[in-house]
C-alpha cells in the first residue's frame, strides 16, 4: 500500500531511449517512503488506462505523479481514469519528460536524465504540498434574457424558444426590429427592410415562449452565470426577472457628421439614414446625387471600417439610377469595401447600371461648393491625378456605426468591458460572442458594426452558446472554465491574515474579488463563479494571504528547492 504512485511513461522508447528511467525509478524508490514507481509503455492507450486504474486501487494510492509527454499531461482521459480510482484533482501532478526533456536534449542523454530526475523530484515535492480548492455550485435557471429586439436579438430569441427555453425579450423602443425600422431596403436583395425579419417577428408574436417587453430597460443586475436576477423598468413599473444567461444585442448608433462636408450648414448635405427616411416617404425630387464614403470613418479618431456603408451606397446609388428619371449617382470613395461573392456581384451590377466611381485620397477630401445650397463638388480624382468639378443637387454622407449611448450604462450594470472604440469587448479570440462575465454574450452591432444578416447569424451563435449554459441542471464554479476541462482551482483567502488592502480587488481581470466586512474589518472574498485562477491576485497580495491551493507558495518553494541538486 503506497501513498504515492509514480507512473513513468516509456512512450515506446521515446523517453527511455534518452533518459535512463530505470535508474531514476530506483532513486525515487530509495529516497521516498511510501512511494511505488511503475514504468509503463504508454499512459495514453486504452489498455494502459485500465491497468492504471486497477494498479492504483490495489496500491490504495492517494496521490499520483506522472512523468509523460506534454500532451498527456492535459489529457482528460488520464484525469478520468484517476478519478475513477478515487484520486482527487489535487492528488495529481505531471512532469513533461518528452517535449520538455527527452526531445530537446537528444544530444545530451546524461543531462536529460539528470533533468528528468530533478523534474520528478520537483513534481513529488509539489504533490506533497498541493491542496484542493473548495467548489460551489448552483441550480441553473433555464430562462434567457435577450436585450434588444433588432435582427440579432430576434434571431437569438427565436432560436432559444425553438429549443424550449423561455425568453424575456427586452426592447428600448415601442416595437421590435431595431435599425430595420429606420431604413427602406436592405442589400443585396433590395428587399423591403423588414422582409428578412418577418418570420422572426411573427414568431415573437405567436410563440408564448417569448415574452416581449417594449419600452423597457435594465436598471439593476445581480447574480452570476446560471442565475442572474435582473430588474427591468417598463411603462407599467419595475419587474424582477431571473435568467440563467443574458444576450446583449442592443445594436449601434449612427454618427452624425457634424462639421464634415458642410453638414448642418447646407440642407442638401444629408446622411444615409436621412436618405433612407426620404425613400420611405417616396421618391426624392433631386436628380444628381453624390455619395461620399468614409465620412468620419477610417480616420485617426475612428480607425475602423464600418462594413455597411459601401454596400449601402451602392444600394441607394442604384436606386437613384433606376427610380429617378434622369437620375445620376457618383460615389466618391477611398476604397470600395464589398467582400464576398454576393457583394462583389452587387458592385459590378452598380457599375453596369451607370453609377460612377471617383477615388480620392484621405488627405485631399472633396469640397462642397455652393452659397446657400449645394451646387457642385470639387474633387482631386486620385486615378487621373486631375481636379474635377461636378454639378449636383444632393450630397449623401456615409457615416459609420458608432457605439450606442446605452453602452456605458450597460457596461456598469453588467460589469462588462468596452473596447477602445466603445463597443462591447469580447474575450480572447478563441471565445467569440463571449464577454469576461460567464453567461453574458454579445451579438450584432453592439459587438461590432455588421449588416442585419450577419447580426442574425451572430444572434443564433450567441443563442447556442447560451444554450450550453441553460441546458445544465446545475453549474459548478470549477466547470466554468474557458478551457477544455475544469479550472485548475480558485483564488482562496486565508481570512485570518487578510489585511483588506484591496490589491486583489483592483487587479482581478474578471472582477471576482471584493472586500467584505467581517468583525469590524475588511477581508477579501472571491466570487468562485467568476474566478479563472489566473493568479493575478496571488502575486499582488502583500502577505501571501491569497493563494491558489493547487499552486500555493509552499509548493513553488518546494519545487525551487528541488530544481537542482
Partner 1 sequence: MEEEKRKNRTELPKILVFACRWCGGIGAGRAGWKRLEIPASFRIIPVECAALVEPDAVFRALSSGMDGVAVLGCHVGGCRYNEANHAALKRLDLVKVLLDTTGIGGERLLLAFGTAHEDHQFAGIIRRFTDFLGKQPPLEPWTGFAKNADLRSEG
Which residue ranges make up the site for partner 1 (CB under 8 A)?
A: 70-71, 96, 98-101, 103-108, 111-112, 114-115, 118-119, 122, 417, 427-428, 430, 436, 482-483, 488, 507, 509-510, 532-536, 538-540, 544, 548, 551, 553, 556-557, 559-561, 563-564
| Cell numbers placing 315 | 444600394
Q: Between 133 and 216, whose beta carbon lies closer to partner 1?
A: 133
| Shortest CB 518 distance to partner 1, Å | 25
Where is 380: in which H helix or E strand?
strand 376-381
Q: Between 101 and 329, whose beta carbon lies closer to partner 1?
A: 101
**b or e along 55-64 (b: 16 or more beta carbons within 10 Å of the residue's beta carbon)?**
bbeebebbbb
Q: In degrees rounded to 5, what are phi and psi of residue 249?
A: -135, 55
Instruction: Please tell me the distance from the alpha carbon of residue 285 to that of residue 263, in angstroms, as a whole number.
Output: 19
Side-chain-side CA neighbours of 181 within 13 Å: the count stands at: 10
| Shortest CB 49 distance to partner 1, Å | 22
Cβ atoms within 10 Å, residue 415: 15
Q: Between 71 and 283, whose beta carbon lies closer to partner 1?
A: 71
Q: What is the DSSP string of 174-188?
A: SSS-GGGGT-SEETT
| Shortest CB 268 distance to partner 1, Å | 44
CA triple 246-227-492, angle to 5 deg: 110
Q: Between 104 and 389, whose beta carbon lies closer to partner 1?
A: 104
SS3 category, 50: helix
| Shortest CB 174 distance to partner 1, Å | 37
| Shortest CB 462 distance to partner 1, Å | 19
Q: Between 19 and 247, whose beta carbon lies closer to partner 1?
A: 19
Q: How many residues does the chain have?
A: 565
Instruction: Please tell me the distance from the alpha carbon of residue 15 to that of residue 72, in angstroms, as a whole number.
Output: 13
Q: Between 84 and 425, whose beta carbon lies closer to partner 1?
A: 425
What number of helices (H) and strands (E) belong to the chain? Answer: 14, 30
| Cell numbers placing 538 | 496571488
Q: Between 16 and 96, whose beta carbon lies closer to partner 1?
A: 96
Q: Between 70 and 418, whose beta carbon lies closer to partner 1?
A: 70
| Cell numbers placing 145 | 434574457
Q: Between 129 and 171, whose beta carbon lies closer to partner 1?
A: 129
Count Cβ atoms within 10 A of the Cβ of residue 3 and give its class: 0-12 exposed, 13-18 middle, 19 or more buried.
middle
First-last CA distance in the chain = 29
Q: Please, which residues have CB within 8 angstroms of residue 475's CB and are 6 or more apart in sequence?
A: 137, 138, 140, 225, 226, 469, 529
Q: Between 341 and 420, whose beta carbon lies closer to partner 1?
A: 420
Count Cβ atoms within 10 A of the Cβ of residue 362 and give its class: 0-12 exposed, 13-18 middle, 19 or more buried.
exposed
| Shortest CB 121 distance to partner 1, Å | 10
| Shortest CB 138 distance to partner 1, Å | 23
| Shortest CB 434 distance to partner 1, Å | 11
| Shortest CB 559 distance to partner 1, Å | 5
Instruction: Please tell me the distance from the alpha carbon of residue 494 to that of residue 202, in angstroms, as a whole number.
Output: 55
Please report where in the chains the cell 495514453 appears, as a residue: 44
Q: Between 505 and 548, whose beta carbon lies closer to partner 1?
A: 548
| Shortest CB 533 distance to partner 1, Å | 6
Q: Between 210 and 533, whose beta carbon lies closer to partner 1?
A: 533
Q: Are 15 and 76 in contact (CB under 8 A)?
A: no
| Shortest CB 115 distance to partner 1, Å | 5
Instruction: Please tell me the distance from the alpha carbon of residue 195 to that of residue 102, in angstroms, as a whole number.
Output: 63
The sign of the torsion formed by the CA atoms of 77, 83, 87, 92 equals positive
Q: Between 257 and 549, whose beta carbon lies closer to partner 1?
A: 549
Q: In degrees rounded to 5, what are phi and psi of residue 250?
A: -90, 5
Please report where in the chains the cell 494502459 appears, as a residue: 48
DSSP, res 397: E
| Shortest CB 433 distance to partner 1, Å | 16
**b or e along 137-170 (b: 16 or more beta carbons within 10 Å of the residue's beta carbon)?**
bbebbbbbbbbbbbbbbbbbbbbbbeeebbbbbb
Q: Between 104 and 303, whose beta carbon lies closer to partner 1?
A: 104
Cβ atoms within 10 Å, residue 236: 9
CA triple 64-65-71, angle to 5 deg: 110
| Shortest CB 354 distance to partner 1, Å | 45
| Shortest CB 365 distance to partner 1, Å | 32
Amino acid at each position: 500500500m503506497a501513498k504515492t504512485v509514480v507512473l513513468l511513461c516509456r512512450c515506446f522508447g521515446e523517453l527511455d531511449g534518452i533518459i535512463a528511467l530505470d535508474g531514476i525509478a530506483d532513486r525515487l524508490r530509495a529516497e521516498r517512503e511510501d512511494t511505488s514507481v511503475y514504468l509503463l509503455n504508454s499512459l495514453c492507450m486504452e489498455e494502459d488506462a485500465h491497468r492504471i486504474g486497477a494498479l492504483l486501487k490495489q496500491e490504495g494510492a492517494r496521490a499520483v505523479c506522472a512523468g509523460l509527454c506534454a500532451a498527456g499531461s492535459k489529457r482528460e482521459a488520464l484525469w478520468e481514469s484517476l478519478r475513477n480510482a478515487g484520486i482527487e484533482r489535487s492528488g495529481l501532478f505531471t512532469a513533461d519528460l518528452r517535449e520538455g526533456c527527452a526531445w530537446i536534449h537528444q544530444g545530451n542523454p546524461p543531462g536529460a536524465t539528470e533533468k528528468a530526475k530533478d523534474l520528478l523530484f520537483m513534481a513529488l515535492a509539489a504533490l506533497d504540498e498541493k491542496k484542493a480548492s473548495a467548489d460551489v455550485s448552483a441550480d441553473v435557471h433555464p430562462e434567457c434574457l435577450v436585450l434588444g429586439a433588432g435582427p440579432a436579438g430576434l434571431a437569438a430569441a427565436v432560436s432559444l424558444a425553438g429549443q424550449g427555453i423561455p425568453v424575456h425579450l427586452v426592447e428600448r423602443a415601442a416595437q421590435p426590429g431595431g435599425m430595420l425600422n429606420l431604413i427602406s431596403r436592405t442589400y443585396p436583395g433590395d428587399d423591403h427592410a423588414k422582409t428578412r425579419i418577418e418570420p422572426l417577428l411573427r414568431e415573437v408574436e405567436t410563440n408564448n415562449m417569448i415574452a416581449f417587453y417594449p419600452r423597457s430597460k435594465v436598471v439593476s443586475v445581480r447574480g452570476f452565470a446560471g442565475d442572474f436576477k435582473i430588474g427591468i423598468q417598463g411603462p407599467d413599473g419595475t419587474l424582477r426577472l431571473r435568467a440563467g444567461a443574458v444576450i446583449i444585442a442592443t445594436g449601434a448608433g449612427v454618427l452624425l457628421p457634424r462639421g464634415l462636408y458642410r453638414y448642418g450648414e447646407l440642407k442638401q448635405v444629408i446622411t444615409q439614414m436621412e436618405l433612407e427616411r426620404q425613400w420611405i416617404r417616396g421618391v426624392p425630387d433631386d436628380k444628381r446625387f453624390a455619395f461620399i464614403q468614409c465620412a468620419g470613418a477610417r480616420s485617426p479618431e475612428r480607425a475602423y471600417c464600418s462594413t455597411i456603408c459601401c454596400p449601402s451606397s451602392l444600394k441607394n446609388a442604384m436606386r437613384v439610377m433606376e427610380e429617378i428619371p434622369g437620375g445620376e449617382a457618383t460615389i466618391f470613395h477611398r476604397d470600395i469595401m464589398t467582400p464576398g461573392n454576393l457583394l462583389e456581384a452587387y458592385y459590378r451590377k452598380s457599375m453596369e447600371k451607370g453609377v460612377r466611381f471617383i477615388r480620392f485620397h484621405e488627405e485631399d477630401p472633396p469640397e462642397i461648393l455652393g452659397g446657400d445650397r449645394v451646387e457642385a463638388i470639387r474633387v482631386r480624382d486620385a486615378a487621373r491625378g486631375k481636379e474635377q468639378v461636378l454639378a449636383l443637387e444632393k450630397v449623401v454622407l456615409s457615416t459609420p456605426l458608432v457605439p450606442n449611448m446605452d453602452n456605458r450604462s450597460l457596461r456598469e450594470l453588467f460589469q462588462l468591458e468596452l473596447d477602445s472604440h466603445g463597443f462591447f469587448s469580447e474575450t480572447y479570440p478563441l471565445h467569440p460572442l463571449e464577454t469576461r462575465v460567464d453567461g453574458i454574450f454579445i451579438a450584432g452591432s453592439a459587438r461590432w458594426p455588421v449588416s442585419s444578416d450577419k447580426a442574425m447569424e451572430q444572434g443564433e451563435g450567441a443563442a447556442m452558446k447560451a444554450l450550453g449554459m441553460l441546458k445544465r441542471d446545475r453549474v459548478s464554479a470549477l466547470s466554468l472554465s474557458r478551457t477544455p476541462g475544469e479550472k485548475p482551482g480558485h483564488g482562496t483567502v486565508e481570512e485570518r491574515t487578510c489585511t483588506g488592502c484591496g490589491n486583489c480587488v483592483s487587479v482581478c481581470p474578471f472582477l471576482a474579488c471584493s472586500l467584505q466586512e467581517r468583525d469590524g474589518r475588511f477581508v477579501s472574498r472571491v466570487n468562485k463563479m467568476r474566478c479563472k485562477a489566473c493568479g493575478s491576485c496571488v502575486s499582488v497580495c502583500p502577505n501571501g494571504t491569497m493563494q491558489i491551493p493547487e499552486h500555493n507558495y509552499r509548493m513553488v518553494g518546494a519545487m525551487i528547492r528541488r530544481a537542482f541538486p
